[in-house]
Amino acid sequence: MERETVTNNILAADSIAAVTAGLAAAGYIASKQIATAVYLAERIEKPILVEGPAGVGKTELAKALAAWRGLKMIRMQCYEGLDEAKALYEWKYAKQLLYTQILKDKLGEVLGHADTLAAALDKLHDFGDVFFSKEFVEPRPLLQALEQPNGCVLLVDEIDKSDAEFESLLLEILSDYQVSIPELGTVAAIVKPTVILTSNGERDLSDALKRRCLHLHIGFPEQKLEERIVESRVPGISDALRRQIVGFINQVRTLDLKKLPSVSETIDWARVLVLLQSSELDHETVKDTLNVLLKYEADIETTLPQVTSFVARAGRQGVFG
Amino acid sequence: MREELHRFFRAARGAGVRVSPAESIDAMKAVADVGFADRGILRDTLLLTLAKSEDEKQALGECFDLFFSQPEVKQETAPGDAAENEGADSASGEAAQGEDAGAAAQQLGELAQMLMSRDRNAIAAGVANAASAASLSDIRYFTQRGIFSSRILEALGIERLRDDLDRLTTSNPAEAERLAAALDGLRETVRDAVSQALLLYGREESENLRNEILRNAPLARLERRQVQEMKALIRAIARRLRERYSRPRKHQRRGHLDIRRTLRRNAAWGGVPFLTTWKRRHRDRPKIVALCDVSGSVAQVSDFFLLLIHSLHEVVDDVRSFAFSGNLIEVSDILDTRSPEEAMSEIMSKVGFGSSDYGGSLVDFEKGFMRALTPKTTVIVLGDARTNNLDPRADILRRISERSKRLVWLNPEGRFAWGFGDSEMPRYATYCSVVRQCATARQLERAVSDIVAAYQ
């Protein structure tokens, strides 16, 4: 028994390392926590709810996971007013109408033999459900995800933007991986999809939803990790510049800004600097390209006076760090 | 190990993380999968499955560190004693001591033997067993520390140890001294274990108790150290009110067809109305104008009230706040841009510390800000209505009441004091939709909750 648990544990640690490696192969540098979350989600078959500031790679995680696993990714972007018809399934009304028109003659033929109205109605009942069969269902992302024969990664993006009603709609899918369509019955998943929900924390999600998920919070990465992320995303960059960029951004994050620059901004900025062919950070380049990093005029104004000292400190870090 | 996890869940609840049975089952499953070998992975796993927000993650992380540091703390106290004893031993001679111990052990009780053997793992295990026998995880209040300590010591067999000690004192004083020293060490270990358990399991209860006391304490007479706690409590109240009222509820009016939207919605099917759309009732979010007395004893209550009202951004559409004592100024901008402490001291330096003049302040309001009132506005006046025998100008209050949706007066004084001395409360009350006492955090919460609920 003892030995069994020990081997089990070693397996778990190995598998988590394998997740990290797999995600890295797909271009996503994951922290240990993220890798543990992905591993657990597959083991205990639970969706992951990812929260964190914009641009830290929440959506990217789902894409990388799908790429690594070689699965199809089905993305469902949430917005206010999203409802069942757009998320789950819809009847193809036009097709239904068209078919009844085309089959009119056939219907007449079939019903023509009936003598009374009651008999005709009885006959009609016999094939009554023809028009409410699977043929006429238009599957939307959630239903599509359940119908994938090889499984898939279902990304429910920015769930906090949707209404509270939509959250309740998701509950059945999240806990049992099935949906109920009144006319057809329950559709269960062929292969359970890996579900990832993301939220920017614009509003508090309901406890019922949170309870069904593993909760992963992705914050701004540590300096070392961020350097590795830049390395993998912007291959042409020199070591010194990369270190300076990350050092500079980490200092900007200590300021009181409206929107702090996140990883996606770091990557954009690194790309810009590579395009401009600057070999190291200097005062002028930073001033000219600060608008890549900061998205509000007020933020730029707050940061400008600090640029010189930040650049100097980032430069020192580049030498000693 | 399952027992251990259950105790951890209880400790997590103590730390303010709501762990439901379903979540604990998930956590058990996950832990069974990853095992206990790697503490980092175990920590991440529990954080992923149990904590459902960033705050909870932090609280649970601290709780985890505290919980799993427990055995080490015990070992730290034990080696200290062991080292001391060892010093004494080497003086008396190793070989002789060994024989002595062997002979003595036959007469001694179990606990004494354990202490004399200085096996700190055994002692730690013994304490842990005794702790679970005394159901230490039931500890809730700091006053229970003594009783739990003595219960654990009893379970360890301290009775027998005392007898042994008495006997040894006569037969072998040196041994008795060592045993007494070891006993002191044991007491300390037990005391540490109990304090730790209180920290883990008792936090929730004692916090509830303290909050309960705080909620009913008069706001105007708080001690300095309570002010910070009260601010935290007010923030919690604000959060609760936000959660309750911020969700926009759509109410459909069944039976009133919205023809325009129905046609547009069914355009795809040639205007055949497959789907119907019903008219919706439009609902206002609260607009609030607050007039706060910041003179003397009312200032503290106004402080908390303004803090509460201004942290309800999600619930309330529009708040304009005015502060007055001798005269009246608008303070909305100060409150929105500064931190609560700075804002309050700035307001105080501008209008505070005067003797209150309700009539003059109402004149100021009518002159400058009457336009702020719409038929959707709720006007809240917070003050004790003590006019220092100046003209109360209740006629202005009547005009304010006529222009607004509701006029609510919150008075920190008790009902029995209204109308006595220079209090003009009865005269003002005639023009108010609601007058209520508002002296404690509980009353404040209820008052604000009612005001917001009136719009739902």
> What DSSP state is assigned to residue A184?
T
Query: B141 at the A interface (CB within 8 A)?
Result: no
B37 vs A94: CB contact, 8 Å cut-off?
Answer: no
**What residues are paired with B386 via a beta bridge?**
B423
Domain count, chain B: 4
Query: B47 at the A interface (CB within 8 A)?
Result: yes
Nearest CA in chain A to B20: A211
B47 and B131 share a domain? no
Residue in this structure with the two tokens 């304009």, named with its chain if needed = B320
Residue in this structure with the two tokens 């960029």, named with its chain if needed = A245
pLDDT in tens, A120-167: 777 777 766 677 788 888 889 999 999 999 989 999 999 988 887 788
Write the single-letter amino acid at B285: R
pLDDT in tens, B226-241: 787 788 788 888 877 7
B59 and B77 share a domain? no
Residue B321: inside a domain, yes or no?
A: yes
Which of A24-28, B118-122, B214-218, B262-266 is the least confident region?
B118-122
Chain-centroid distance of CA B5 in Å reads 25
Q: What is the structure's pLDDT at B189?
A: 85
Q: By C-alpha distance, which of B151, B139, B142 is closest to B11?
A: B139
Nearest CA in chain A to B51: A215
Instruction: Tell me the three state secondary structure of residue A252.
Output: helix
B105 and B63 share a domain? no
B49 and B145 share a domain? no
B299 and B327 share a domain? yes
Query: B30 at the A interface (CB within 8 A)?
Result: yes
> What DSSP state is assigned to residue A116?
S
Measure the CA angle with vertex A75, ends A70 and A78; round to 5°. 160
Are residues B380 and B288 in contact, defined by beta-carbon separation less than 8 angstroms? yes
B268 to chain A: which residues are within 8 Å by CB?
93-94
- Tell how strand A137-139 and strand A89-91 pair up: antiparallel
d(CA B435, CA A241): 66
Is residue A23 exposed (0-12), middle (13-18) or buried (19+ Cβ within 10 Å)? buried
Query: A82 at the B interface (CB within 8 A)?
Result: no
Are residues B219 and B410 in contact, defined by beta-carbon separation less than 8 angstroms? no
d(CA B369, CA B396): 12
B241 to chain A: which residues are within 8 Å by CB?
none
pLDDT in tens, B145-182: 888 888 888 888 888 888 888 888 888 888 888 888 88
pLDDT in tens, A210-240: 888 999 999 899 888 999 999 888 888 888 8
Residue in this structure with the two tokens 């790679």, named with its chain if needed = A57
Nearest CA in chain A to B41: A36
Instruction: Tell me the three state secondary structure of residue B406.
Output: strand
Query: A203 at the B interface (CB within 8 A)?
Result: yes
Q: What is the structure's pLDDT at B399?
A: 92
Chain-centroid distance of CA A318 in Å reads 34
pLDDT band at B336 (very low <50, low <70, confident <90, very high): confident
Neighbours of B383 (CB within 10 A): 26
Nearest CA in chain B to A40: B30
Q: By C-alpha distance, which of A142, A148, A184, A122 is closest to A47?
A: A142
Residue B301: inside a domain, yes or no?
A: yes
Q: How far is CA B242 from CA A255, B152, B237, in A?
A: 28, 46, 9
Residue B152: inside a domain, yes or no?
A: yes
A94 vs B41: CB contact, 8 Å cut-off?
Answer: no
B173 and B196 share a domain? yes
Are residues B341 and B288 in contact, defined by beta-carbon separation less than 8 angstroms? no
B118 and B168 share a domain? yes
A44 vs B44: CB contact, 8 Å cut-off?
Answer: no
Answer whether residue B94 shows pLDDT above 50. no
B86 and B32 share a domain? no
DSSP for B109-129? Answer: -HHHHHHHHT-HHHHHHHHHH
Residue in this structure with the two tokens 């995303």, named with its chain if needed = A233
Nearest CA in chain B to A212: B23
Are residues B321 and B372 in contact, defined by beta-carbon separation less than 8 angstroms? no
pLDDT in tens, A251-293: 899 888 888 899 999 999 999 998 888 888 888 888 888 888 8
Mutate: best of B25, B45, B55, partner A, most A CBs <10 A:
B45
Residue in this structure with the two tokens 């810009």, named with its chain if needed = A272
Of B238, B265, B282, the residue that ends a domain is: B282
pLDDT band at B70 (very low <50, low <70, confident <90, very high): low
Residue B228: inside a domain, yes or no?
A: no
What residues make up the domain containing B61?
2-68
Rounded to a whole number of angstroms, the distance from the CA of B240 to the nearest CA of chain A is: 12
Of B282, B297, B323, the residue that ends a domain is: B282
Q: By C-alpha distance, which of A177, A43, A213 is closest to B22?
A: A213
B299 and B188 share a domain? no
Residue in this structure with the two tokens 């509701």, named with its chain if needed = B406
Mutate: best of B36, B41, B55, B245, partner A, most A CBs <10 A:
B41
B346 and B449 share a domain? yes
Instruction: Tell me the three state secondary structure of residue B431.
Output: coil
Q: How far is CA B82 from CA A176, B115, B130, in A?
A: 57, 10, 21
Residue B102: inside a domain, yes or no?
A: yes
B269 to chain A: which residues are within 8 Å by CB?
93-94, 97
Of B15, B48, B68, the residue that ends a domain is: B68
First CA to last CA across chain B, in angstroms? 50
Q: What is the structure's pLDDT at B97?
A: 43
Residue B224: inside a domain, yes or no?
A: no
Residue B242: inside a domain, yes or no?
A: no
**What residues are paired with B84 via a beta bridge?**
none
Residue B363: inside a domain, yes or no?
A: yes
B79 and B199 share a domain? yes
ipTM: 0.81
Q: Point out the residue among B26, B41, B246 whose CB comes nearest to the CB of A46.
A: B26
d(CA B255, CA B243): 31
For residue B318, the domain's CATH number is 3.40.50.410
B34 vs A36: CB contact, 8 Å cut-off?
Answer: yes
B338 and B427 share a domain? yes
Q: By C-alpha distance, which of B334, B333, B298 is closest to B409?
A: B298
Are residues B455 and B406 in contact, defined by beta-carbon separation less than 8 angstroms? no
Q: Which of residues 130-189 of A touch B (CB under 8 A)?
A: 164
d(CA A229, CA A237): 12
